[in-house]
Amino acid sequence: MFRLITWAPTSFAADDALAIYIEGDGLAWIASDLPSADPTPVVPLALQLALAQPAGNAAYVARPCQYVDAAQTGCASRWWTAQRFAPDVIEAVDRAVDALKVQAGARRLTLVGYSGGGAVAALVAARRSDVERLVTVAGNLDHGAWTRHHRLPPLDGSLDAADVRDALRRVRQWHFAGGRDTVVPAFIAEGFAAGFPVDTRPVVRRVADNDHRCCWAEQWPRLWSEVHGTKE
């Protein structure tokens, strides 16, 4: 249904592990009541994170309708507004993950999602058995809480990462949140994690001076090493 744009190196290192980065919502709105005609991100932060990964294989998946001509591909604005996390969207990203996994010859996956891509990463991880790590950066992990906080209409037709906690209990998780993030405040990730039993509770790391965009890419080598329990 969707044509997804992906990035991968021309060749992968011999490794059975692959990190796949999932883009955020992009330029979804021009104003609070006016959807964008093109959700392609102005700053593709998830791609920047992939390029900053200090070691191991990495690939990137854009969200539906990003980097394509929406009119020519039949993309409607609902796919980057109310239905940005719809079952069809999650299925499309899941298929892209399958293709990248085969291309890399990988068996073990780390899914990394930025902003709304964090929700997509969580929803994809919940339906797979090959995801060993779920990592989000400024992730919208409870869009019900998020829309209530911003006094926005609910995302009718979208799945919610907060509803798949049980399926994610087997996955190791790290959620990074900016202490100065007013777009997806840190309490969203903290509330998501608090809904897990203590023995399976994800790691939530509030980075005090970061906002929704700054300064995740610059800090990514250090944060990536933290996830993997290694030093830079």
Rounded-to-integer distance, Cα 115 and Cα 112, Å: 10
> Domain segments of the chain: what residues?
6-227
Query: Which of 19-23, 29-33, 140-144 is least confident?
Result: 29-33
Segment 156-166 shows an average pLDDT of: 98
Segment 7-23 shows an average pLDDT of: 96
Q: pLDDT over 70 for what percent of the chain?
A: 98
Is 6-227 assigned to CATH 3.40.50.1820? yes
Check pLDDT > 50 for residue 232: no
Check pLDDT > 90 for residue 161: yes
Rounded-to-integer distance, Cα 79 and Cα 186, Å: 25
Rounded-to-integer distance, Cα 201 and Cα 195, Å: 8
Segment 20-49 shows an average pLDDT of: 94
214 upstream amide cis, omega within 30 of 0: no
The mean pLDDT of the chain is: 95
DSSP for the chain, written as a single string: -----EE--SS--S-SEEEEEE----S-EEETTEE-S----SS-HHHHHHHH--SSEEEEEPPTTTTS-HHHHT--GGGGTTTTT-HHHHHHHHHHHHHHHHHHT-SEEEEEEETHHHHHHHHHHHT-SSEEEEEEES----HHHHHHHHT----TT---GGGGHHHHTTSEEEEEEETT-SSS-HHHHHHHHHTS-GGGPPEEEEETT--SSTTHHHHHHHHHHHHTT---
Question: Nearest Cα to 71, choosing from 25, 36, 117, 24?
Answer: 36
CB atoms within 10 A of CB 210: 21
pLDDT tens figures, 98-146: 999 999 999 999 999 999 999 999 999 999 999 999 999 999 999 999 9
pTM: 0.96
pLDDT tens figures, 185-217: 999 999 999 999 999 999 999 999 999 999 999
Check pLDDT > 50 for residue 171: yes
pLDDT tens figures, 60-101: 999 999 999 877 777 999 999 999 999 999 999 999 999 999
Segment 29-54 shows an average pLDDT of: 94
Check pLDDT > 50 for residue 16: yes
